A = this chain, B = another copy of it.
Amino acid sequence: MADNIPKVDENGQPLSKSALKKLAAKAEKEAKKAARAAELAAELEQQQLNEPDNCTENYGDMEMVQSQKITETMWTNIEELDERCIGKTATLRGRVHSVRAKGKGAFLILRQGSETLQVAFFVDDVRVSKPMVKYIGNLNKESVVDITGELVKPEQPIESCSNTIVEMTCPKIFCVSRSIQIPLEISDLSRSEADIDNAPEDKQYSRVNQDTRLDNRILDLRTPANNSIFRVQSEVSALFRETLRKRDMIEIHSPKLISGASEGGASVFKLDYMGQPACLAQSPQLYKQMAIMADFGGVFEIGPVFRAENSNTHRHLCEFTGLDFEMTIKEHYSEVLDVIDELFVNMFDGLSERCAKQLEVINAQYPFAPLKYLRKSLRLEFPDGIKMLHEAGITEADPHGDLSTEHERILGKLVKEKYDTDFYILTRYPIEARPFYTMPEPGANPEYTNSFDVFIRGEEIISGAQRIHDPELLTERAKHFGIPVEELESYIRSFRYGALPHGGCGVGLERVVMLYLGLNNIRKSSMFPRDPKRLTP
């Protein structure tokens, strides 16, 4: 008990002996009071349990759902319940979000996804008995229950629930699946940083760090914000496909198990494939180009991408979802940029429209400024980007190297100031900063390439380019990068049977979601993230 007594005053100064004594006495008194209350409650409880229970048919643990029967039950969702339902009976399945039970009654909040409904129980020994209230009070949070009862209009709007206009009274309640004591409260997982910082004086909210969240991902994902993040993610893929399908591109599925070293470099996962050395594809790059050589015109793929990079940053994952497309071009890689432009303007428009509710929910826990984007995206050339950085005093920005993450972020800010957009395309990257299959600009000893990156809020989400379709130039460039061309044999050969000029790009799905929502960590936009230290859950 004594451990709970503060040893310092409000200003952090040690308390006097007398003050401490006073506090200790007070605490002891409180403890005695509490003990007496518990005793009384136990007595009362015993007494109640000895009373006859008229309501045993109205509550209890259900037999395990095992496809025993098909009934005509009409199931309802919380979000469907409005004024028109008042006075009617409804059946719902949901979780015990919270419960408060006391002698004569109980209040339970039922949750379905992000939706919550208040359910009130009052002992009347017809519908609700004291043992029933006790049963309800003993249900652990997150347990799954079925309730059937009357919907009523609450005396005043229920601010603590998402459904403020309807509540349910005295329903039958059966537990479908009991939860153990949860290690983390959904309310703690759902709280914004601002709410934690501005906690009322009598409360101290616990801050749950990212790793703890991921260790308990199933609970963490149940928060309204997380539930919404993955609805947004699903919609991003849908909008990606819709735009490309309208352009008559087809969806392909390229192999993830490949021989050789994918696109070269050390960061591949290696494995044994039926006795042959194999690796996991670092991207569908080579295969989507081969599909173009097979005359599919335009192809896209949404699938996993594997990178065995030991990058422990807020924006790297060892496995992520690539949104890739590749298309023939007639003359210029600006044809690819036109598709990207259409794709992302459609996507941003579509998200505002289809996910308005989700965006609001996410904003409540993770506040973000709505994305600024132009109807026709800004296309900035790399040398001009470097110039902007130099003019802003970033003199170390290398006109012939890649941009560092930090410089990308600064350039993003400069672009935002100058052009009022969070989304833009940077073209003409230096030749040494791009992969071997990138088409150089025309002319002898080109310094730049027909390539581009695309940025949201100063961070890269897309890399793309015109690709080399000439097998001799391709071989030469692979050699230049020290890639064993024999491992690329079937890839290079596909360009020898007449090659169509083409280009494309790869988009990181988790990055798009993270940056669109202004989240601070890519692990928030990957359902079960894989990083150098994490392989579970």
Check A259/B536 contact, CB under 8 A, given A296-B227, A318-B274, A497-B142: yes
Cross-chain contact A528 with B179 (CB below 8 angstroms): no
Cross-chain contact A250 with B230 (CB below 8 angstroms): yes
Cross-chain contact B67 with A177 (CB below 8 angstroms): no
Cross-chain contact A253 with B509 (CB below 8 angstroms): yes
Total copies of this chain within the assembly:
2
A255 to chain B: closest CB distance in Å?
Answer: 5
Contact digits for A440-483, partner B, Cβ 8 Å, 1 yes 0 no: 11100000001000000000000000100110010000000000
Q: Which of A269-318 contact B (CB under 8 A)?
A: 269-274, 276, 278, 280, 287, 290-291, 293-297, 302-304, 306, 308, 310, 318
Cross-chain contact B256 with A294 (CB below 8 angstroms): no
Choose, from A13-21, A166-174, A217-225, the stretch at the interface: A217-225
Question: Residue A491 contacts which of B280, B494, B535, B537 (CB distance < 8 angstroms)?
Answer: B537
A336 to chain B: closest CB distance in Å?
Answer: 10
Choose, from A22-30, A125-133, A326-334, the stretch at the interface: A326-334
Q: Which residues of chain B come closer than 8 Å to A218, judged between CB atoms?
A: 290, 293-294, 493-494, 497
**Nearest CB to that of A310 among chain B residues?**
B274
Q: Which of A385-413 contact B (CB under 8 A)?
A: none
Question: Residue A234 contacts which of B69, B252, B258, B331 (CB distance < 8 angstroms)?
Answer: B252
> Is A434 interfacial (CB 8 A cutoff)?
no
Q: Which of A494-533 contact B (CB under 8 A)?
A: 494-501, 509, 526-528, 530, 532-533
Cross-chain contact B67 with A182 (CB below 8 angstroms): no
Distance in angstroms between the alpha carbons of A235 and B219 in the assembled complex:
36
Distance in angstroms between the alpha carbons of A294 and B528 in the assembled complex:
12
**Nearest CB to that of A96 among chain B residues?**
B498
Q: Which of A336-383 contact B (CB under 8 A)?
A: none
A422 to chain B: closest CB distance in Å?
Answer: 25
Check A179/B498 contact, CB under 8 A, given A291-B527, A442-B66: yes
Cross-chain contact B306 with A304 (CB below 8 angstroms): no
Q: Which of A221, A227, A257, A440 has the most CB of B within 10 A?
A: A257
> Is A70 interfacial (CB 8 A cutoff)?
yes
Q: Which of A246-263 contact B (CB under 8 A)?
A: 250-259
Cross-chain contact B271 with A271 (CB below 8 angstroms): yes
Count of interface residues, chain A, beta-carbon cutoff 8 Å = 113
Cross-chain contact A245 with B238 (CB below 8 angstroms): yes
A429 to chain B: closest CB distance in Å?
Answer: 13
**Nearest CB to that of A144 among chain B residues?**
B498
Q: Which of A65, A273, A293 has the most CB of B within 10 A?
A: A65
Cross-chain contact A494 with B537 (CB below 8 angstroms): yes
Cross-chain contact A68 with B442 (CB below 8 angstroms): yes
A488 to chain B: closest CB distance in Å?
Answer: 10
Cross-chain contact B65 with A501 (CB below 8 angstroms): yes
A5 to chain B: closest CB distance in Å?
Answer: 33
A487 to chain B: closest CB distance in Å?
Answer: 10
Question: Residue A527 contacts which of B65, B93, B254, B256 (CB distance < 8 angstroms)?
Answer: B254
Distance in angstroms between the alpha carbons of A532 and B177 in the assembled complex:
43
Cross-chain contact A67 with B466 (CB below 8 angstroms): yes
**Nearest CB to that of A259 among chain B residues?**
B535
**Nearest CB to that of A300 among chain B residues?**
B234
Cross-chain contact B274 with A271 (CB below 8 angstroms): no
Cross-chain contact B257 with A318 (CB below 8 angstroms): yes
Distance in angstroms between the alpha carbons of A271 and B257 in the assembled complex:
12
A120 to chain B: closest CB distance in Å?
Answer: 21
